[in-house]
């Protein structure tokens, strides 16, 4: 692909990350959410089976995260990143091959693995390039791709439904879109080079967190992961089951993505005012409201408010935690990211399967939503406790405020 002369090298690299998010997260991961009710209507897929497929997707992501964290060679990480781009395309096309549960299960597992490429590998490679070229290590544009990917998936499904395409044709449509997205994601991220000497990054030493910090953060992040995955997986199906809201599910999911796109930059600013832990507490507190609102009301305004609150907070939680990992381990943030991802990912495996079975048994998702909201509320309490008793947390908050 020809390099657009109007884009600086910095923005080409950042946009490569954005396109990788659109491909690996927006298409390979989140196309499943707006397509879930379509597949349930047109195939034999039940609530419980839909939940298990989502759980397998997150199992694949966790395996990918562990793989990424275990690799030390920057060039090997680059090779794996490019492999995940191809896997995102293949797993998307594979969903269209047949209506077989084990085929779909395999494809969701592979798609989950591929999404780790955009979330973790691309993040590290982009940061490596920015630091090597003495650029600001900011990933707002890169992570905006998660929200834009959700928006893209929702609008694509809505458009294809208007064309009366069935579930299989829609997956093929997403596979075609994946081909287009793969090209800039591959071509605009240069192969890694050795860091430029004297950029100052070598002087930043790791400051390992206390045991109290890690115990409470891991527990709180598990709770955040449980809350995140329920709405991310089932929001369209939840909305479409309400008689008064039928036909608005994809637009609700699009609003989630629209709210998520600027979230990283917004929560970075908030962290400068009240610290990383303070911002994380506020974000998770708002997320509780966003998660449980659909269980409280079938009013369109309430559901749209839920979409904005959820979309505007879930990605902020992830970015704040990744930022803290980078501050504590500037040379190898994967040391902390791997452990945090295990906690976040374990919740994402358990929660969709349990929620799908509860929905099949009761005929609605209300219990699953209340359970998710309860977990996130517990996470908020753990973070409040952490902020009060741990010096690491206090130090991180002071550093964030100093950047204002």
pLDDT band of 216, cuts 50, 70, 90: very high
Are 383 and 280 a contacting pair, CB within 8 Å?
A: yes
pLDDT at 218 over 50: yes
pLDDT given at position 2 = 46
CA distance 118 to 141: 13
pLDDT given at position 83 = 97
Angle ∠(140,324,274) on CA atoms, nearest 5: 80
pLDDT band of 23, cuts 50, 70, 90: very high
CA distance 26 to 343: 23
Are 227 and 252 a contacting pair, CB within 8 Å?
A: no
pLDDT band of 226, cuts 50, 70, 90: very high
Question: What is the percentage of the chain residues whose pLDDT exceeds 70?
Answer: 92
CA distance 109 to 102: 10
pLDDT given at position 319 = 82
pLDDT band of 296, cuts 50, 70, 90: very high
Give 143-173 pLDDT, tens digit per residue.
Answer: 889 999 999 999 999 999 999 999 999 999 9
CA distance 239 to 307: 11
pLDDT band of 202, cuts 50, 70, 90: very low
Are 251 and 135 a contacting pair, CB within 8 Å?
A: no
pLDDT given at position 330 = 63
**Burial bucket for residue 365 (CB in 10 Å: 0-12, 13-18, 19+):** buried
Complete domains list, the chain, with CATH: 12-190 (1.20.1250.20), 207-404 (1.20.1250.20)
pLDDT at 133 over 90: no
**Burial bucket for residue 132 (CB in 10 Å: 0-12, 13-18, 19+):** middle
CA distance 275 to 217: 15
pLDDT given at position 81 = 96
Give 355-385 pLDDT, tens digit per residue.
Answer: 999 999 998 899 999 999 999 999 999 999 9
């Amino acid at each position: 692909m020809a390099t657009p002369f109007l884009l600086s090298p910095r923005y080409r690299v950042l946009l490569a990350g954005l396109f990788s998010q659109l491909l690996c997260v927006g298409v390979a991961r989140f196309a499943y959410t707006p397509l879930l009710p379509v597949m349930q209507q047109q195939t034999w897929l039940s609530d419980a089976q839909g939940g298990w497929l989502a759980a397998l997707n997150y199992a694949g992501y966790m395996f990918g995260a562990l793989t990424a964290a275990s690799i030390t060679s920057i060039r090997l990480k680059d090779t794996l990143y490019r492999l995940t781009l191809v896997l995102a395309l293949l797993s998307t096309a594979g969903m269209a091959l047949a209506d077989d549960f084990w085929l779909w299960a395999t494809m969701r597992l592979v798609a989950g693995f591929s999404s780790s490429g955009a979330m973790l590998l691309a993040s590290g490679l982009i940061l490596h390039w920015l630091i090597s070229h003495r650029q600001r290590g900011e990933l707002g544009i890169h992570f905006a791709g998660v929200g834009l990917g959700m928006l893209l998936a929702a609008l694509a499904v809505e458009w294809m439904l208007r064309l009366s395409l069935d579930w299989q044709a829609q997956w093929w449509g997403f596979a075609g879109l994946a081909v287009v997205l793969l090209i800039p994601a591959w071509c605009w991220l240069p192969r890694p080079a050795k860091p430029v000497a004297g950029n100052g990054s070598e002087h930043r030493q790791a400051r390992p967190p206390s045991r109290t910090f890690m115990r409470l953060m891991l527990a709180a992040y598990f709770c955040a992961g449980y809350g995140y995955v329920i709405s991310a997986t089932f929001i369209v199906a939840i909305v479409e089951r309400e008689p008064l809201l039928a036909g608005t599910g994809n637009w609700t999911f699009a609003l989630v993505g629209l709210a998520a796109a600027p979230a990283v930059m917004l929560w970075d600013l908030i962290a400068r005012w009240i610290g990383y832990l303070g911002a994380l507490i506020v974000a998770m507190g708002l997320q509780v409201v966003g998660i449980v609102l659909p269980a409280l009301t079938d009013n369109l305004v309430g559901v749209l408010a839920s979409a904005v609150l959820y979309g505007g907070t879930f990605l902020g939680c992830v970015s704040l935690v990744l930022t803290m990992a980078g501050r504590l381990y500037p040379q190898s943030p994967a040391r902390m990211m791997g452990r945090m991802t295990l906690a976040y990912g374990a919740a994402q495996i358990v929660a969709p399967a349990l929620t799908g079975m509860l929905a099949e048994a009761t005929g609605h998702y209300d219990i699953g939503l209340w359970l998710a909201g309860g977990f996130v509320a517990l996470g908020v309490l753990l973070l409040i406790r952490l902020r009060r008793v741990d010096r690491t947390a206090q130090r991180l908050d002071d550093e964030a405020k100093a950047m204002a």
